[in-house]
Amino acid sequence: MNTVIFRTIAPILVAIMVVFSVFILLRGHNEPGGGFIGGLIAASAIAIYGIAAGVEEVRKALKFDPIAIAGFGVFIAGLAGLLSYFYQVPFLTGLWAYLDIGPSKVALSTPLLFDIGVYFAVLGTIAAIALALEEDEEGK
Amino acid sequence: MEIALAVLIGMFFTVSIYLLLSRAIIRMLLGIAILGNGVNLLIFTAGRLTKEIPPIIPMGQDGLIEPFANPLPQALILTAIVIGFALFTFLLVLGYRAYQELDADDTDTMRLAEPERAPRPPLSY
Amino acid sequence: MAADKTNIVESSELPVAMIDVATSFADWLIILPTVIALMGAALLIMLRFNKAIQAGLAILIVVGIIILEVRLFLNVMEFGTQSMTMGKWLPPFGISFTVDVISIGFALAGAIVTLAVLIYAQADISSREVKYGFHSLVLLLLAGVTGAFMTGDLFNLYVWFEVMLIASFGLIIMGGRKIQLDGAIKYGFLNFLATTFFLISLGLIYGLFGTLNMADISQVSAQAPIGPLTAIGALLLLAFGMKGAAFPVNAWLPASYHTPHPAVSALFGGLLTKVGAYALLRSLLLIMPSARDFLDPVITFLAIATLILAPLGALAQTNLRRAIGFLLIGGVGSVLVGLGVPTIRGVAGASIYIFHSMLTISALYLMAGLIERIMGTQDTRKMGGLYSASSWLSILFLVLVFAVAGLPPFLGFWPKLLLIEASLSQGDVWLVVALVLNSLLTTIAGTRLWAHIFWRSGPVGENSEQENKKLKPLTLREKYLCVTPTTILVLFIVFFGLKPAMIFDAGRMAAYGLLDNSEYIEVTGLADPTKEKVE
């Protein structure tokens, strides 16, 4: 796997995949996509980078521990549910706010926040598993 | 169609139970995986089979137009697949670790927690 | 058939599916314990390399949960069952959390046990294991248990079971000794299989009723054809029986519960099997009582077998924690008795028994941890002479043995009394015989453990007149962190044993809540089917 071509292409591929995963995450509410599938794409990007550059490098690039990222995701998702407390509606009720930015209207909502949480949770968990497995391979 | 799927589910269950009765951990793992798929198929069938359009509200409409596929079983199955996958991965890694550390794939030889020649019960009071 | 409801389509009337009433703080109490535990677990895993704050933060979160749950308990005792449906959707569509006395009572006991275990673990867990995420996993387990007790939706119950399972996998292999791998394999496979059986029954329930909301099913289950319903009931009995370690699917418990840390054993013994027993009561009494009536002879047989065989297993054991595991299984038999005699007394007895067993079994496992720490072994044949070293521990252990055997004046006596009364009133003499025999055998097994560990001077074969010199005395830190939580749990058992009025009240209300589904359905918001559902 450790060819020059792969090592050269990998950073570009990873960058494209991460951007694409964010795109998939954001289009998720009304169209196919969402946090889960976005998180999976981002995690596969990390796994690819791990194969190309080595696990040590990835851990350095990630800054945070993958499991901590997963925890952050769950925390954000929980927070998205708790926000509805301030509007006297049940837990996890969707709340919407619209931002006017120039010509377009941006819809912000708690489902989006929840989906971002899912994104991080999936990204963190799968990345942790992938990196652990790759580390195991390298150790041999 | 339901009958065909019911037969298929039955076959899934048969194969998985046969594999689960084995003493080899890797076979039991395969059995668990097949059983999970059989159960997902069961939920799918129990939600009634319809070959109609996907349950997506068309542009300019307030609600769904009948007939449409039932989305709930699909949501349930998706959840079950994700959870089942996570647990299966864990068991797979656990089985692999056990194979490395205990040098055993046969549950009959895994007797650390329950020693084979159990000590006699204490007779004194 | 009821399954036609799957085709519900309220096109052009979407607002009908939403709740319009404002949600107050009292309603939020229903969901907060679970959410706080889950978010606390997430927060602690984010901070897992910050070892200094882990324990304090975890204990703080659990204390907060206990305060909220006490408040919710008082609310439920005063105003009756409470419910909240997520996301503002009307009940059969949204996921309901419905809290009655039995839910909140068990959740509260679970949180108290978790707190005791967390304090105990401070002297038991190495800093490597703190970094591994011990505190986070404990909170995740608590979130799963609390969610399972409080949810009003069967599929949601499945999800909480899996949350619990994942957390318990993490805890049981913590430390990574070989024996733990062995135990974890057996624990993992059989519990995963049990939840898969549960999932099968969920698929069948959905096919039969077209809904997974407990109140909704409870409303229509009486009219369902008895054949499929009984099949579902039998599957649920198997799945939850496996979770609760009832005979004959109990083999995983004595094979695994003695392998992890004593603190983890205590947590599992106090929480996990109890959720299985609770789910049995909830599903077969509240949701589908007609299936229970059909399965009655099976339940009675299982109850008798579990009651008698489990303490016999305990008698034969020379491993302390495995013996306790068998005593734990015997308790599941008592719960099955309550399931077999579904009168107010019987169900109240079973509910109180679960509450009692949560406190007692955890305390016993914590005690076992202390004994192992002093003795340096799990093998009772190598123990002896602890009485002279620590008479306080010997008193605690004896109280726990009496409580688990159901001897007065401790907490374990009252549920046994209720169960015997209920069985007598139903004419089930064999159940009475089994219950009394269970108490007798448990007393023999327990007091013999006590005699071997504490009373005799040294291990088997040694000169019994000499003092046991191999004992390793507890350090001061261990005395504070390990003995205190055990003592507090024992004090609970003594207190509720001497003042059982409150427990009786709660137990009776729990039984009413399970046997009469009208309040549960009404509170969930499904009282009038013609008005709420298909219009």
Question: Is the pLDDT assigned to residue C11 strictly greater than 70?
Answer: no
Instruction: Say yes or no for a CB contact (<8 Å) between C46 and A72.
Output: yes
The amino acid that residue C342 corresponds to is P
Rg (CA), chain B: 22
Closest-CA residue to C365 (of C479, C486, C247, C460): C486
Q: What's the token pair of residue A35?
A: 């946090």
Give the model confidence (pLDDT) of C327-369 as tens digits.
999 999 999 999 999 999 999 999 999 999 999 999 999 999 9
- Cα torsion angle, C133, C135, C139, C145, sign: positive
CB neighbour burial string for C455-488, b if at least 16 within 10 angstroms, e if fewer? bbbbbbeeeeeeebebbeebeeebeebbbebbbe
Mutate to test the interface with A, among C18, C25, C27, C45 (most CBs of A within 10 A): C45
Distance (Å, rounded) from C-alpha C497 to C-alpha A74? Answer: 41
One-letter amino acid of C91: P
Please enumerate in sequence order all residues whose Cβ is within 8 A of that of B63, keeping only pairs 6 or more positions apart, or say none.
B57, C9, C10, C11, C12, C13, C14
The CATH fold assigned to B2-51+68-106 is: Helix Hairpins (1.10.287)
State chain C's mean pLDDT as an integer: 88
Separation between Cα atoms, residue C322 and residue C329, nearest integer Å: 11
CB < 8 Å to A129, chain B: 89
Nearest to C165 among B87, B98, B110 (CB): B87
φ/ψ (deg, to 5) at C411: -55, -35
Q: Indicate the residue of C6, C185, C318 with minimum beta-carbon distance to B94.
A: C185
Q: Chain B interface residues facing chain A, Cβ-Cβ under 8 Å?
A: 82, 86, 89
- Average pLDDT value for residue range C158-186: 91
Give the C-alpha separation, C434 to B57, whole Å: 60
Question: At C382, which amino acid appears?
Answer: K
Query: What's the pLDDT tens digit per position in A26-49?
Result: 988 778 888 899 999 999 999 999
pLDDT, tens digit, 9 for 90 and up, residues C264-309? 999 999 999 999 999 999 999 999 999 999 999 999 999 999 999 9
Q: Find out whether C451 and C401 touch, Cβ atoms under 8 Å.
A: no
- C-alpha of C22 from chain center: 34
Is pLDDT larger for residue B114 or for residue C152?
Answer: C152
| Rounded Cα distance, B25 and B99, in Å | 9
Mutate to test the interface with A, among C20, C21, C23 (most CBs of A within 10 A): C23
Nearest CA-CA partner of C18 in C529, C525, C425, C530: C525
pLDDT tier for residue C14 given thresholds of 50, 70 and 90: very low
What is the model's pLDDT at position C8?
A: 41
Band of residue A72 on the pLDDT scale cut at 50, 70, 90: very high
DSSP class per residue in C140-151: HHHHHHHHHHHB
Within its chain, how far is the Cα of C482 from the centroid? 22
> Cα C389 to chain center, whole Å?
33
Interface predicted TM-score (ipTM): 0.93
CA C155/CA C161 separation, integer angstroms = 10
Confidence of residue C89 (pLDDT cuts 50, 70, 90): confident
List, for residues C93-125, the tens digit of each pLDDT value: 888 999 999 999 999 999 999 999 999 999 888
> C408 and C280 in contact (C-beta within 8 Å)?
no
CA angle in degrees (0–180, nearest 5) for C283-C284-C288: 90
Angstrom distance (rounded) from CA C120 to CA C483 = 8
Q: How far from the centroid of its chain's Cα atoms is residue C370's Cα? A: 23
Rounded distance, CA C156 to CA C149, Å? 11
End-to-end CA distance of chain B: 66
- Predicted local confidence at residue A31, as pLDDT: 80
3-state DSSP assignment of residue C249: coil
From chain C, pick out residues whose CB is under 8 angstroms from the CB of B25: 185
Q: What are residue C97's DSSP bridge partners?
A: C84, C151
pLDDT at C532: 45
**Beta strand segments in C212-324, E:** none
Q: Which of C475, C166, B37 is nearest to A129 (CA)?
A: C166
* Higher pLDDT among residues B101 and C61, named by residue: C61
Say if residue C150's pLDDT is above 70: yes
Contact C255 B95 (CB under 8 A): no
Each residue's pLDDT tens digit in chain B (125 positions)? 889 999 999 999 999 999 999 989 999 999 999 999 999 999 999 988 877 677 777 777 777 777 778 888 888 999 999 899 889 988 988 888 888 888 777 888 888 888 877 777 777 76
Report the residue of chain A nearest B79, measured CA to CA: A36
Report yes or no: C185 and C259 within 8 Å, Cβ to Cβ. Answer: no
Chain A residues within an 8 Å CB radius of C87 = 90-94
Residue C263 binned pLDDT confidence (cut-offs 50, 70, 90): very high
Chain B's closest residue to C448, CA to CA, is: B125
A 10 A CB-CB count for C203 gives: 26
* Rounded average pLDDT over C246-264: 91
- Interface chains of chain C (3 or more CB pairs under 8 Å): A, B
Shortest CA distance from B90: residue in chain A: A129
Based on its alpha-carbon atoms, the radius of gyration of chain C, rounded to whole angstroms, reads 23
Q: Which of C55, C123, C136, C104 is nearest to C486 (CA)?
A: C123
pLDDT at C129 over 80: yes
Task: Tell me the nearest-neighbour CA distance from B118 into chain A, angstroms.
Answer: 37
Q: What does the pLDDT average to over A62-88?
A: 90
Neighbours of chain B (3+ CB pairs under 8 A): A, C
Q: Is residue A22 pLDDT above 50, yes or no?
A: yes
**Of A49-63, A74-88, C85-99, minimum mean pLDDT range:** C85-99
Note down the domain range covering C209.
2-532
- Higher pLDDT, residue C504 or C469: C504
What is the C-alpha separation between C180 and B14, in angstroms, rounded? 31
Supply angle C-alpha C362, C118, C448, rounded to 5. 25
Count of structural domains, chain C = 1
Q: Are B73 and B45 in contact (CB under 8 A)?
A: no
Q: Is A30 exposed, middle or buried (0-12, 13-18, 19+ CB in 10 A)?
A: exposed
Residue B11 CB coordination number (10 Å)? 12
Number of domains in chain A: 1
Q: How far is C179 from chain B (nearest CA, A)?
A: 5
Give CA–CA dist C46/C342, Å, rounded: 46
Residues of chain B found within 8 Å of residue C188, distances taken between Cβ atoms: 87, 90-91, 94
Measure C330 CA to nearest chain B CA, in Å: 19
**C457 has pLDDT over 70:** yes
